[in-house]
Amino acid sequence: MSDFVKISRDDDIALVTIDNRPVNALSFHVRGPLMQALVSLRDDASVAAIIIACAGRTFIAGADITEFGKPVQQPDLRALIVTLESITKPTVAAIHGTALGGGLELALGCHFRVADAGAKLGLPEVKLGLLPGAGGTVRLPRLVGAVKALKMIVSGTPIGATEAHAAGLVDAVFEGDLATHAVNFAREIARKGGPFTPVRDRNAGETNLGAFDAEAADLARKARGLEAPLACAQAVRNAVTLTFDEALAAERALFVKLVASDQSRAQRHLFFAEREAAKIPAKGIVKRRIGRVGVIGAGTMGGGIAMAFANGGYPVTLLETSQEVLDRGLGTIEKNYAVSVSRGSLSEDAKRQRLAQFKGSTDYADLADCDLIVEAVFEDMAVKKEVFGKLDAIAKAGAILATNTSYLDINEIAASISRPQDMLGLHFFSPANVMKLLEIVRADKTAPDALATVVDMARRIGKVAVVVGVCHGFVGNRMLAARGSESEALLLEGATPGQIDKAFTDFGWPMGPFQMGDLAGLDIGWRNRKARGLTAAIADTLCEQGRFGQKTGRGFYLYEAGARAGVPDPEVETLIREKAAEKGIKPREIGAEEIIERTLYPLVNEGAKILEEKIAARASDIDVVWVNGYGFPIGKGGPMFWAGLEGAARIIDRLDHWHRQTGKEVFKPAPLLKRMAEIGSWETDATG
């Protein structure tokens, strides 16, 4: 018996309960006593059946990720499963909450699995750049078939108890007290008697290898340079083409390789970074209650933001300037939900429930009962101040007032109202109902309880929150500007939009800067540049010609007949050469390496400045912003993690080189980038 593993008895049924909260990870201090418990129960003739269950909110959520990359302490999980599987009396895993990764693998070492109706089961290792490393790829196909196992393991998405039951992964599903049901289940099977066949000795059934390979090839295409999904597919294939022991050994070899890879290190870094980013000092803080949410502006962002809240279960009052614009906004929301229904991702009933959350209005007085009000009107300081002036007059005491501004100074808006302590930024990304990232902008006078309340709320609406400080463009858009100016310079020097975008997609981005600009609308950046007295020779000219990107059918690329993928446009290439000639620039060949160094190294340098200025609290927060808001490849861990892989000294050296090469003033690295080059760490990262 230990603090982490306890044995209790219901007559001849033994119940082993693991208690390693919060998520019952299979840490070393669990594995040791669990092994002892299994051995003693195996050898105890008075025990007819053994149940493995967990205390707290969930079954085992996997191996302990903090132990990866460190020497393995015995017994390891595989040894534990071998012992479990050698027991001849019936063994049962009783699953509630989530059985994930090594947790499900342990359950696969039992003869039977029973689950609470709300339980979820999955092998999400792929999301950490890994494959299941304790027999999951070899045992799961023996229960659910190779194709189903392939889908589960390559996607990493857990399935519910009912689906697991139908697929053969779970033997029984129960509502109510799981322990009691599990004891009755175990007693019944023990009474019926064995022999009980371990999963390793079962047959995966006939596998149509042609269909399997077609599915695997499709998944490989979507992997975008990530190694883990391919290794997962290979391992599942091995499960049906090799013997159990051969497939297990092959799985192990793949796991050992992946766990040491930069991609897996990057993805594990992101796992902890996302959890760390939302942490703020909360001691002694009483959070405010958010019942109803108000959203001002039913345009691109306001509509999406309102949907995000409704999806998270909040009733929403949506305010517009006129009934006509309001109706249009509500109509778009309804259409968006209808698309989800037609795609099968939302039921008709759920759509009705979501729509019932909305109340439209054109009268500010209707916002008086809202506890949080998010403004998403035009990006114009005067308009924003007017809106917040009205809110100051009508909002209830303690209501949190938030702006979705992309760039404007939130301190200035806060200074214009009588309650700056209630004001902060909630910077959603487009489309706001889909994109995971939420930059929560803490203004100088934002009250700690207001901040803590929205951090909590962000989790409820399924966002990955990062708390940032006030500066032009906050973390994401400020760094994006550093990338954007170099992209334009590269065009003038001889690269084409297609070459630059290809260098980005080869690097692992879902799209390149010009594809992204065309998708988002080139007019957004154009308006912003004009407001700040800035220019971009090529993008400005395209906008003057009415080429705003996909929405006008023409931007950096041509989009014929509503096509979503653009094709190169000779007119744009001529324009680029003309602009270059006007500036006296002679075009030259530009390689992918130069494109990446000149666009992404400045991003890192800007990130270092953001850290110095304490706009972001940790380097890993910046990574979370870039991976979740801008599509930075997860296998590279975000710009600041990637900088560690590249080496800060190299980044400084190469930026210095490119500055000289392109006739810019001497490159002055951010002091923190220089320090990173000396000590090899940003010193602010999430642990784990």
Stretch that binds ligand NAI, among 187-195, 428-436, 439-447, 578-586 (CB under 6 A): 428-436
Which two three-digit tokens encode residue 110?
Answer: 């039992």
- C-alpha 322/C-alpha 328 separation (Å) is 10
Distances (CA, A) of 305 to 2, 432, 516: 48, 5, 21
Binding mask 368-407 for ligand NAI (x = CB under 6 A): --------xxxx---x---x----------------xxx-
Which two three-digit tokens encode residue 639?
Answer: 């710009």
- C-alpha 135/C-alpha 106 separation (Å) is 9
- Of 355, 364, 314, 463, the C-alpha closest to 375 is 364
Among 32, 299, 494, 688, binds ligand NAI (CB under 6 A): 299
The residues binding ligand 3HC (CB under 6 A) are: 22-23, 25, 61-66, 77, 98, 100-102, 105, 124-125, 128, 132-134, 136, 272, 275
Q: Cβ contacts of residue 17 below 8 Å, gap of 6+? A: 5, 6, 7, 8, 53, 54, 55
Stretch that binds ligand NAI, among 50-58, 285-293, 297-305, 439-447 (CB under 6 A): 297-305
Residue 462: φ, ψ to 5°: 75, 25
Closer by beta carbon to ligand 3HC, 121 or else 432: 121
DSSP 243-312: -HHHHHHHHHHHHHHHHTSHHHHHHHHHHHHHHHHT----TTPPPPP---EEEE--SHHHHHHHHHHHHT
Residue 325's binding partner among ligand NAI, ligand 3HC, none (Cβ under 5 to 8 angstroms by kind) is: ligand NAI
Taking the complex as a whole, the smallest distance from the CB of residue 199 to ligand 3HC amounts, in Å, to: 15
Stretch that binds ligand NAI, among 154-162, 299-307, 563-571, 643-651 (CB under 6 A): 299-307
Residue 64's binding partner among ligand NAI, ligand 3HC, none (Cβ under 5 to 8 angstroms by kind) is: ligand 3HC
Taking the complex as a whole, the smallest distance from the CB of residue 209 to ligand 3HC amounts, in Å, to: 25
Residue 133's binding partner among ligand NAI, ligand 3HC, none (Cβ under 5 to 8 angstroms by kind) is: ligand 3HC
Taking the complex as a whole, the smallest distance from the CB of residue 556 to ligand NAI amounts, in Å, to: 17
Q: Is 126 in the site for ligand NAI (CB under 6 A)?
A: no
Closer by beta carbon to ligand 3HC, 276 or else 375: 276
Taking the complex as a whole, the smallest distance from the CB of residue 515 to ligand 3HC amounts, in Å, to: 31
Closer by beta carbon to ligand NAI, 185 or else 388: 388
Residue 158's binding partner among ligand NAI, ligand 3HC, none (Cβ under 5 to 8 angstroms by kind) is: none
Q: Which of 105, 251, 320, 594 is catalytic?
A: 105
Closer by beta carbon to ligand NAI, 7 or else 441: 441
Q: Cβ contacts of residue 349 below 8 Å, gap of 6+? A: none
**Is there a catalytic annotation at residue 125?**
yes
- Of 33, 178, 22, 211, the C-alpha closest to 92 is 178
Residue 501's binding partner among ligand NAI, ligand 3HC, none (Cβ under 5 to 8 angstroms by kind) is: none
3-class state of residue 61 by DSSP: coil
Taking the complex as a whole, the smallest distance from the CB of residue 330 to ligand NAI amounts, in Å, to: 11
**Beta-strand (E) ranges in 484-575?**
557-558, 567-568
Residue 101's binding partner among ligand NAI, ligand 3HC, none (Cβ under 5 to 8 angstroms by kind) is: ligand 3HC
Q: What angle do CA 501, 506, 512 make, to 5 degrees?
A: 25
Contact yes or no for 318/360 (Cβ under 8 A):
yes
Closer by beta carbon to ligand 3HC, 254 or else 414: 254
Among 157, 261, 430, 545, binds ligand NAI (CB under 6 A): 430
Taking the complex as a whole, the smallest distance from the CB of residue 397 to ligand 3HC amounts, in Å, to: 32
Residue 377's binding partner among ligand 3HC, ligand NAI, none (Cβ under 5 to 8 angstroms by kind) is: ligand NAI
Taking the complex as a whole, the smallest distance from the CB of residue 481 to ligand 3HC amounts, in Å, to: 32
Which one-letter DSSP state was computed for residue 54? E
Residue 124's binding partner among ligand NAI, ligand 3HC, none (Cβ under 5 to 8 angstroms by kind) is: ligand 3HC
Site for ligand NAI in 306-335 (CB under 6 A): 319-321, 325
Taking the complex as a whole, the smallest distance from the CB of residue 526 to ligand NAI amounts, in Å, to: 13
- Strands 5-10, 13-18: pairing is antiparallel
Q: Is 470 in the site for ligand NAI (CB under 6 A)?
A: no
Q: How many residues bind ligand NAI (CB under 6 A)?
A: 24
Q: Is 628 in the site for ligand NAI (CB under 6 A)?
A: no
Residue 621's binding partner among ligand NAI, ligand 3HC, none (Cβ under 5 to 8 angstroms by kind) is: none
- C-alpha 409/C-alpha 441 separation (Å) is 10
Which one-letter DSSP state was computed for residue 159? E
Stretch that binds ligand NAI, among 110-118, 294-302, 352-360, 456-464 (CB under 6 A): 294-302
Site for ligand NAI in 488-547 (CB under 6 A): 520
Contact yes or no for 198/248 (Cβ under 8 A):
no
User: Is the dihedral angle over the CA atoms 11, 12, 13, 17 positive or is it negative?
Assistant: positive
Closer by beta carbon to ligand 3HC, 408 or else 467: 467
Stretch that binds ligand NAI, among 92-100, 179-187, 423-431, 595-603 (CB under 6 A): 423-431
Among 90, 122, 158, 297, binds ligand NAI (CB under 6 A): 297
Contact yes or no for 210/42 (Cβ under 8 A):
no
- Of 117, 116, 126, the C-alpha closest to 149 is 126
- Strands 437-442, 464-469: pairing is parallel
- C-alpha 617/C-alpha 629 separation (Å) is 18
Which residue in the shown chain puts its C-beta closest to ligand NAI? 299
Residue 405's binding partner among ligand 3HC, ligand NAI, none (Cβ under 5 to 8 angstroms by kind) is: ligand NAI
Closer by beta carbon to ligand NAI, 319 or else 330: 319
Q: Which amino acid is at 657?
A: H
Of all helices (H) and strands (E), which one includes residue 467?
strand 464-469
**Is there a catalytic annotation at residue 105?**
yes
- C-alpha 447/C-alpha 425 separation (Å) is 12
Contact yes or no for 146/125 (Cβ under 8 A):
no
Q: Which of 125, 274, 488, 493 is catalytic?
A: 125
Residue 62's binding partner among ligand 3HC, ligand NAI, none (Cβ under 5 to 8 angstroms by kind) is: ligand 3HC
- C-alpha 352/C-alpha 354 separation (Å) is 6
Of all helices (H) and strands (E), which one includes residue 682?
none
Residue 132's binding partner among ligand 3HC, ligand NAI, none (Cβ under 5 to 8 angstroms by kind) is: ligand 3HC
- C-alpha 418/C-alpha 397 separation (Å) is 11
- C-alpha 512/C-alpha 115 separation (Å) is 45
Q: Cβ contacts of residue 591 below 8 Å, gap of 6+? A: none
The neighbouring-strand residues paired with 438 are 428, 465
* Cis peptide leading into residue 22 (ω within 30°): yes
Catalytic center residues = 105, 125
- Residues forming the site for ligand NAI (CB under 6 A): 296-302, 319-321, 325, 376-379, 383, 387, 404-406, 428-430, 520
